Amino acid sequence: MQTVYIAGGAGFIGSHLCKRLLADGYEVVCIDNFLTSSKKNINPFFSNAHFHFLQKDILLLTEHDFEHIPLPQYIFHLASPASPNLKSPRSYMSYPIETLRVNSQGTYILLNLAKKMSSRFLYASTSEVYGDPKVSPQVETYWGNVNPNGIRSVYDEGKRFGEAITIAYVRKFSLDARIARIFNTYGPHMQNDDGRVVSNFILQSLHNEPLTIYGKGKQTRSFCFVSDLVEGLMKLMFTKNINGEVVNLGNPNERSIKVFAQLIKKLTKSSSQIVFEELPADDPNRRCPDISKAKKLLGWEPKVPLEEGLQKTIEYFKTV
Ligand code: NAD
Ligand code: UDP
């Protein structure tokens, strides 16, 4: 049986990945300090003998931590706050230093573990490395337009460092590593207080509170349902001979935030008003993945239509 470590495995995407790996017959070791998640995401897995949990900050990992758990053939590095919202207590803006450290020093620690154990490594990067892009859709060869010290920089530059050090290990040590540039992902287990647009609009609609559009709502995003994203991560990790590849994973179905607000209102049958609030600094104007590379290299593309994924997410938010 092969063993997979998932740093950040208790989070939104990580918990779905744990579930999928267990279902596919892997031994799963989840490492998480619950900085931006809670145990409830992984509670169902504790009864599975193939699931192991290490409650630990990855910055504090030592060799002793691995004495009683199987050693990894594969390591996913998903550990990082992922939300940009200033109002959220759990966002990377609330945890600026933690975000920089987990993506820099944390990536270094996990890369050394992968090197020592000869494990394959996948780093969860982000579409934020493209910043406020001047090219749309964003293709992997685009270098981005990032403010190096703006309010989002702790995340953007942390992830850019994470990419740089991952590729340095590929070049210097021939480590078998890959990088996923993940675009906006949604679904059950999203945090309900992270202030992101999907959770905000659904919760506001369900409570018949005003939907808060930042700016004029002309900025675009492209939303990928979490099961599609997990399938993409699986293919990126388990496809052989793609060492050092950087691949966009996201849904190219792009729409404006205003249209998105109207869609959520419709799906929740909400009578909420729509209100306009100030646009945060450096908010990217457009975001849409070019997924040609993922299609060609991995045979992957998203399958879940937005309305179907949103219905599932709305049902989830009714229960939290
Ligand atoms: P999340 O916040 O739900 O999950 C991140 C997990 O990492 C949490 O469980 C958190 O407690 C854990 N963590 C953070 N710092 C840690 C540390 N020092 N040690 C151990 N655990 C730590 O976020 P998510 O949405 O599941 O995102 C997962 C990964 O995907 C992140 O790296 C994020 O940057 C990336 N990503 C997510 C999206 C998205 O739309 N959700 C988009 C692009 C990239
Ligand atoms: N947004 C919004 N209202 C909200 C929350 C977010 O209009 O209540 C906007 C935000 O300004 C951004 C987009 O929705 O333009 C997506 O924001 P989110 O924080 O979900 O993700 P990101 O900006 O990282 O793509």
| Distance in angstroms (rounded) separating the CA atoms of residues 41 and 51 | 13
- pLDDT at residue 88, rounded to an integer: 73
Q: Looking at the annotation, which residues are catalytic? A: 155
Single pTM value for the model: 0.98
Q: 137 preceded by cis ω (within 30°)?
A: yes
Cβ of 8 below 6 Å from ligand 1: yes
Cα of 44 vs centre of ligand 1, distance in Å, is 19
Residue 109: phi and psi, rounded to 5, are -65, -45
Q: Which of 140, 142, 223 is nearest to 184 (CA)?
A: 223
Mutate to test the pocket of ligand 2, among 155, 196, 274 (most ligand atoms within 8 A of CB): 196
Cα of 269 vs centre of ligand 1, distance in Å, is 31
Ligand 2 atom 16: the closest Cα is on which residue? 197
Beta-bridged to residue 75, according to DSSP, are 5, 121
- pLDDT at residue 84, rounded to an integer: 79
- pLDDT at residue 103, rounded to an integer: 98
- pLDDT at residue 165, rounded to an integer: 98
Q: Which of 249, 225, 229 is nearest to 297 (CA)?
A: 249
- pLDDT at residue 133, rounded to an integer: 97
Cβ of 10 below 6 Å from ligand 1: yes
| Distance in angstroms (rounded) separating the CA atoms of residues 169 and 174 | 7
Burial of 142 (0-12, 13-18, 19+ CB in 10 A): middle
Beta-bridged to residue 262, according to DSSP, are none
Q: How many CA atoms within 13 Å lie on the side-chain side of 209? A: 9
- pLDDT at residue 95, rounded to an integer: 94
Tokens read off for 52: 């192991």
Where does ligand 2 bind, in terms of residues with CB under 6 Å?
84-85, 184, 196-197, 200, 212-214, 219, 221, 257, 280, 283
Residue 178: phi and psi, rounded to 5, are -140, 160
Where do runs of H (alpha helix) occur along 7-95?
A: 12-23
Which ligand is closest to the CA of 221, given by its number? 2
Query: Under 8 Å CB-to-CB from 307, ≥6 apart: which residues?
Result: 263, 267
Cβ of 80 below 6 Å from ligand 1: yes
Contact indicator for 66, 42 with CB cutoff of 8 Å: no
Q: Tell me what percent of the residues of the chain surpass a pLDDT of 70.
A: 100
- pLDDT at residue 63, rounded to an integer: 87
Ligand 1 atom 8: the closest Cα is on which residue? 11
Query: Under 8 Å CB-to-CB from 244, ≥6 apart: which residues?
Result: 167, 170, 171, 177, 178
Cα of 272 vs centre of ligand 1, distance in Å, is 31
Atom of ligand 2 nearest to the CA of 194: 19
**Quick one: which H or E segment has residue 200?**
helix 197-206
- pLDDT at residue 85, rounded to an integer: 76
Beta-bridged to residue 275, according to DSSP, are 212
Cα of 76 vs centre of ligand 2, distance in Å, is 26
Question: Which residue stretches of the chain have pLDDT < 70?
Answer: none
- pLDDT at residue 61, rounded to an integer: 96
Beta-bridged to residue 177, according to DSSP, are 121
**How far is residue 154 from each of residues 72, 81, 229, 234, measured CA to CA in Å?**
29, 10, 24, 27
